[in-house]
Amino acid sequence: MTWREYASPRRTRPPQVRGALARPRLSALLHGDERIVMLSAPAGYGKTTALAAHLPDLGRSCWYTLDADDADPHAFAAGLVLSAARLSGIEDAETLLDAGAAPYVVVRRLVDILLSQDVLLVLDEAQHLPAELSRELLAGPRLALLSRTALKLPDLEVFEARSEVRRLGSAELSFDVQETQALLRAHAVSVDLAAARLAHSVTEGWPIAARFLAQALSGRRLQLGALRNLEAEPPQLSALFAYLAQEVLGPLEPTLREFLTRSSVFEALTPELLQSVLGETHAETYLEALARSGTFLIREGTAFRAHPLLRAHLRAALPREHARELALRGAAYFEGAGQPRPALQAHLQAGNTARAGELLVLHGARWLGQGRVSMVERSLERVGEEVMTAQSALFALLGDVRRLQSRYDEALQAYERAPEAARVTGQARIYLDTVQPARAEALLEQAARLQGADAPELRVLRAENALNAGQLEAAVEWWPEIAQGARFALRSGNLERALMLARRGVRGEVGGQRAAQNHREALLLESLVCALTGELTQAEESAQSGIVEGERLESPFVQSLAYARFGHARLARGDDVTARTSYERALSLAQDTVPRLMAEPLMGLAFLDPQGVHAAQALTISEGSGDCYMSALVRLTFALGLQETRHPNAIKELERARRDFQDCGDVFGQACADLALYAAGQGDAHRALRAVQAYPFLLSKPSLFTPARTRAGRAALLSRLAREAPEIPAYLRLLARDLGYADVTLEHPGVEVRVQLLGRLGVQRGGEEVRDWGRAKARDLLALLVVYPEGVSREAAQEALYPDLEPEVGERNFRIVLHALGTVLEPGGGSAYFLERGEWLRLRASPDLTVDLWEAWQALKARPGSAQRAEALLALPGRLAGVALADVEAEAERYAARLPEALVEEASLALSQGELELATRLAERSITVEGAHEPAARVLMRAHYARGHLGGVARAYQHCREALRALDLAPMPETEALYQALRG
């Protein structure tokens, strides 16, 4: 038998993948820098599909699918050689096989061939890989190993220690919720995120199960709601269950299959449970064997767990009475072991709903506190109406479930059927969760009559309600510990403490199993405080994390509030468009949840709406709920928006906001109103100074309630405050430095100016282009001052602008032009903040004046390889604006000569560091600026050659030669020599 008869050409062809779902997350993992990629997962996880779909992006490759015959090293070596039949040099390996060489000799030669041509070798079903040949493969080429079980190969640890190995398993290959949603939509199944989560929880991201489910839903053979309770009724997924029977259960020994079937009654499997309930003395051995085999039995701590769909399939095969008997035994075992949650599931499995109801009454509140909302909800559904009516405390538990799901109307209905004390307390909690203190108060009074006013739990609830109403002293009287919380610190104006407590809370919240905390979410408190204090990047990140956390918790309340908080961060940053979009998204979520939630996004929109429609809506909601703190925030935000547009009603609204903050005890809100009133010209200077001293970020940073949105505007306000004091306080000098100034500027125009001389001549003042220059010569004078950053004498400037006029006439004209330029740079033209006048003229350098040519020369003079230099050079225009002054024209020539040189410096450095794409861009830009720049052409030729683009080499040379010919020049000898060398 020759070696060619060992191998099957069919197994050397990768599978054809059609319609594969795009998975950027998995793609990024497959495209890592590691030389060896190992994909290990049970059947149906899409190992083969995943790699085959990305194969075109991984360079040249050879594919070989192993089977049991490859345990023979001779068969394996023959198959490998056949898989590489298209590679040059493979004849050497074929000759070795023909001569009967040892398999390791053949494999070594094949490895050399793969290495020399940088070919990826893919071995599918690699669990059949003969261990004695694995060492040769691991040490050699790029390698992808696909297997159903984790591989244990000689020397693998050595390569892992060198960071040459990337392992991908079930977790990485599983679909996440978004991928599950995309898969369903690809099958024309329209689902929202909640439905996608349900599909994902049932399939646990198992790709084959998700695909069968998508097909069943698409064909309308199944409704998604049927998947809510697998314990009660297995779904009609015949194709999936046929796959399970063939691929998973088929290869199992009958003893293991029977053991797995009987144990399917229970979710978490332990040897002790199965010994007690099944009487199986070999339970531990069987569990370990099933976990090792690649069947869907995984270890979780000291227990094992099967995939829920596999359990549903197996359980359906058990006779009903036998399954019930096993469930009753299990329930007794779990109760005896003090494990109420598995006991509950076992009682439900056995149909013992009365005892299940008792366990829910005893433990349901604790489980909800742990975030097991869906589990409690499903259990209540299975208990049924009759048991819930007999045990009415279960309706209180159902109300808690609906409240935690933000389904408040349904929660109220459920509480109505609960015992009176539970009804009243439950309904009060709804209004605590949604910050409606006016509605909660009457219910809490009623609860006090039923339970006693000093009931500890009730005092805590009354304290929170007082806090929600803005009654800080009453809150502390009810429960002193409330003063230690983040929300109390926020509402009392202690932002530093609020931020510290919120960040402490975040560490215990994110990612953990828990119920949503609505407005109490630490992430969202952190985001709000950061927006108030000007830490805008953190405010955005916390809000975005809050959106993700809200999706994870399936809480539209948290998501809506997170979008509102993201809007605050963007509003503080001056991005009104994104802020409006975020507020509108928050509103759309709030409208379907609870009207009170609409107040905060409406507050943000009130800033952008000087007509007051949104402010009126927000105030109607907040005042109706009894939350005076929220009403004060709305008034302040609306007033600041009015002040931004210089609306005459701004003062009245600011004064009203200040009174509201004073009523609810928030000193921060009062400080914001004091500073804004002073900025509007109506406030008390001493109050404004105290506000800035207590909350310096109101001037030092862009923040949500700053009275000036630009740095220049805040600097102008700082100048006004400094003039109010007989001696400039030290904290104002610190503020000036925080704003970027060396010291307080007593006269500040309140605007930023940007001067442009590259490409075109222009001035932007306060973000707006200046259109009226007064005199045309003002442009020329500005260009002259730009090319002389250190300044120029008045006489020289006059001579440059009016060389042919009599001195007296020139002086008169020059004085008019100088005044016109001052007016362009500074409204009113009188402060000389940007333009120094007198016998010496110059543009005054300051944080508020930027000049594009000055910035350009910083990049042009910087050391090659300096941070951001390459991108800065690429962004520079090729020439200065045309100005008919000799000094400006000379500067234009210097700039035009230096720019291509600097680009070539960076291109040469990038080329030497292997950054070929960057080197190409830089060299091409240099040639665009100066077509006959030979150093750039030489770098470009080298870059194209290094990338294997020989056509690019020829094009670069031809372009250079033609550009030189237009100048009656020829390429330099070194350019010719380089081209000939690269072409050869």
Q: Give the residue extent of every domain in the chain.
A: 4-173, 248-318, 419-483, 492-593, 753-855, 862-983
pLDDT at 511 > cutoff 90: no
The per-residue pLDDT for 585 is 97
User: Does the CA dihedral 378-379-380-381 come out positive or negative?
Assistant: positive
The per-residue pLDDT for 665 is 94
Q: Are 505 and 527 in contact (CB under 8 A)?
A: no
Residues 6+ apart with CB under 8 A from 716: 708, 748, 749, 750
Mean pLDDT of 54-61: 88
Mean pLDDT of 345-354: 95
Q: How far apart are CA 973 and CA 964, in angstroms?
A: 13
pLDDT band at 81 (very low <50, low <70, confident <90, very high): very high
Q: Are 903 and 858 in contact (CB under 8 A)?
A: no
For the sheet containing 61-65, what is the strand order?
61-65, 120-124, 142-147, 36-40, 165-168
Q: How far apart are CA 564 and CA 572, in angstroms?
A: 12
pLDDT one-digit tens code per residue, 715-755: 999 999 999 888 889 999 999 999 999 999 888 889 999 99
pLDDT at 502 > cutoff 70: yes
pLDDT one-digit tens code per residue, 241-273: 666 666 666 777 888 889 989 999 999 999 999
pLDDT one-digit tens code per residue, 888-913: 999 999 999 999 999 999 999 999 99
User: Which two three-digit tokens encode residue 35?
Assistant: 């030389």
For the CA atoms of the chain, what is the radius of gyration? 37
pLDDT at 239 > cutoff 70: no
Domain 248-318 has CATH 1.10.10.10: yes
pLDDT one-digit tens code per residue, 539-551: 999 999 999 999 8
Looking at domain 4-173, which of 3.90.1210, 2.60.40, 1.20.120, 3.40.50 is its CATH number? 3.40.50
pLDDT band at 618 (very low <50, low <70, confident <90, very high): very high
The per-residue pLDDT for 248 is 64
pLDDT at 203 > cutoff 90: no
Minimum mean pLDDT range among 38-42, 150-154, 827-831: 827-831
Single-letter amino acid code for the residue at 181: Q
The per-residue pLDDT for 864 is 94
The per-residue pLDDT for 694 is 97
Minimum mean pLDDT range among 12-21, 328-337, 571-580, 971-980: 12-21
pLDDT band at 166 (very low <50, low <70, confident <90, very high): very high
What's the mean per-residue pLDDT of the chain?
A: 91
The per-residue pLDDT for 271 is 95
Q: How far apart are CA 946 and CA 950, in angstroms?
A: 9
Residues 6+ apart with CB under 8 A from 437: 431, 465, 466, 468, 469, 625, 626, 627
User: Which two three-digit tokens encode residue 42?
Assistant: 């049970």
Single-letter amino acid code for the residue at 469: A
The per-residue pLDDT for 829 is 57
pLDDT band at 152 (very low <50, low <70, confident <90, very high): confident
The per-residue pLDDT for 231 is 56
Single-letter amino acid code for the residue at 979: Y
Q: Are 546 and 524 in contact (CB under 8 A)?
A: yes
pLDDT one-digit tens code per residue, 802-857: 999 998 999 999 999 999 999 999 877 566 889 998 899 999 999 999 999 999 99
Place of tokens 């646990």: 204
The yes-or-no answer to whether 248-318 and 753-855 have a common fold is: yes
The per-residue pLDDT for 252 is 77
The per-residue pLDDT for 441 is 96
User: Which two three-digit tokens encode residue 928?
Assistant: 């665009």
Minimum mean pLDDT range among 66-80, 219-233, 480-494, 898-912: 219-233
pLDDT at 798 > cutoff 70: yes
pLDDT band at 236 (very low <50, low <70, confident <90, very high): low
Q: Are 518 and 433 in contact (CB under 8 A)?
A: yes
pLDDT at 238 > cutoff 60: no
User: Which two three-digit tokens encode residue 138?
Assistant: 């691991």
H helices of 103-192, in order, are 103-116, 131-138, 156-161, 170-173, 177-186
**Architecture, CATH, for domain 862-983:** Alpha Horseshoe (1.25)
Torsion of CA 588, 592, 593, 596, to 10 degrees: 60
pLDDT band at 215 (very low <50, low <70, confident <90, very high): confident
pLDDT at 523 > cutoff 60: yes
Minimum mean pLDDT range among 12-21, 108-117, 694-703, 900-909: 12-21
Q: Are 309 and 202 in contact (CB under 8 A)?
A: yes
Residues 6+ apart with CB under 8 A from 162: none
Query: Could you tell me the pTM of the whole model?
Result: 0.78
The per-residue pLDDT for 747 is 86
Which class would CATH give 492-593?
Answer: mainly alpha
SS3 (DSSP) at 842: strand
Which of 217-221, 251-255, 528-532 has the highest mean predicted lDDT (pLDDT)?
528-532
Minimum mean pLDDT range among 74-78, 326-330, 495-499: 74-78
Q: DSSP for 412-471, please give it.
A: HHHHHTS-HHHHHHHHHHHHHHTT-HHHHHHHHHHHHHHH-TT-HHHHHHHHHHHHHTT-
Fold assignment, 753-855: Arc Repressor Mutant, subunit A (1.10.10)
User: Which two three-digit tokens encode residue 526?
Assistant: 């952190």
The per-residue pLDDT for 638 is 97
pLDDT at 639 > cutoff 70: yes
Residue 148: CB atoms within 10 A of its CB come to 19
- How many percent of the chain have pLDDT more than 70? 96
pLDDT at 651 > cutoff 70: yes
Mean pLDDT of 39-61: 88
294: closest CA among 350, 356, 251? 251
Q: How far apart are CA 610 and CA 649, in angstroms?
A: 10
Residue 208: CB atoms within 10 A of its CB come to 20
Residue 768: CB atoms within 10 A of its CB come to 9
Q: Are 373 and 340 in contact (CB under 8 A)?
A: no
pLDDT band at 219 (very low <50, low <70, confident <90, very high): confident
